[in-house]
Amino acid sequence: MKVLAAMSGGVDSAVAAARAVEAGHDVVGVHMALSASSDQRRTGSRGCCTVEDAQDARRAAERIGIPFYVWDLAGDFHDLVVEDFLSEYAAGRTPNPCVRCNERIKFASLLERATVLGFDAVCTGHYASLRTEGPDGAISLHRSRYLAKDQSYVLAVMGPEAAARSLFPLGDMESKDAVRAEARERKLGVSTKPDSYDICFIADGDTRGFLERHLGEAPGEVVDADGQVLGTHRGTHGFTIGQRRGLGIERPAPDGAPRYVVDIDPGTRQVVIGAAALLSTRELVATDLVSFEPIEPGRRVHAQIRAHGEAVPGIVTAIPDGEELLRVQLDVPLRGVAPGQTLVLYDGDRVLASATLERRA
């Protein structure tokens, strides 16, 4: 196959590209320049698509022996990921920008360009597995063998069509140490490069500061569940459901128990705080369903709402039909559910579907 290898400049994508070549594919490497600043520098493990990253990707491609290009997707990234992140927080929701990046950049914009140029598939360094199953050869997405780094959660939104045109060569790796060891064996200079973490386009890690700079201040009240004013804030976008610190309250709860953000209302500019018990729910309600296979009410599933969170057992009670939304009844209460989070449904290690949480029941 003719394969386009997305090379971030890190060790994972470099080893993935090398493995694709070793598997006999005709591979071309491409680095996606996603930063609006062409001279952005890297700070330790923070930052995205910096000058150093592009240079590291180029050197890895040269070592592997494949052609290499840099594609400027900064405009797409800003419009489809960064702006979405800002608008979701402004609406009192909690988005996952990594999910949006995989959906809209790596497996939409990138795959679209690859198709136009005649490539058969896109290869990335994600930790997930693809399998061909059943008599019709359907492609299914599974958790990585290395569960600590599993990225099937953020990939679930890609859907079966994009999955059928993707390669994840690291899905069978046992550990990150094994990936680094293979990189050393292949004499790839990125073998010791630190992993990036946090939100890639917020290089200093200050999410609240980033939101304030872009959304401005919109002062409001911090209230309890009865509407009693306990303090003030500079903007609802500075809060997420389940947050405990930085609440801006002037006095502790009467019983001395910790209090958490339990609701956010951008319309009234109110942040509601309350006891931990108010954070738990046993029903998930979601929209924007992307399924890898048909799902019917009564299907037993495991529901996951965070990239490395626990998958909680439950049962599908309703699927999107007209005005009806996806509903999942959980066997046990789940804490910290927030609108805008991504819900992924699993059957064992196999991804069934992805959706966006709308509200707690």
Secondary-structure breakdown of the chain: helix, strand, coil percentages, each rounded to the nearest 5: 30, 30, 40
Closest Cα partner for 64 from 236, 171, 244, 186?
186
CA quadruple 239, 242, 246, 251: dihedral positive or negative? positive
Segment holding 141, helix H or strand E: strand 138-143
The letter for the amino acid at 122 is V
284, 305 contact by CB (below 8 A): yes
**75/196 Cα distance (integer angstroms):** 22
The per-residue DSSP string of 19-52 comes to: HHHHTT-EEEEEEEE--S-TT---BTTB-SS-HH
Which amino acids are annotated catalytic? 101, 200
Dihedral class, residue 247 (left if φ above 0, else alpha if ψ from -120 to 50, else beta): alpha
The letter for the amino acid at 239 is F
Closest Cα partner for 254 from 230, 219, 271?
230
Beta-carbon count within 10 A of 311 CB: 18
CA quadruple 84, 87, 90, 91: dihedral positive or negative? negative
58, 68 contact by CB (below 8 A): yes
200, 212 contact by CB (below 8 A): no
Distances (CA, A) of 167 to 14, 230, 264: 13, 52, 40
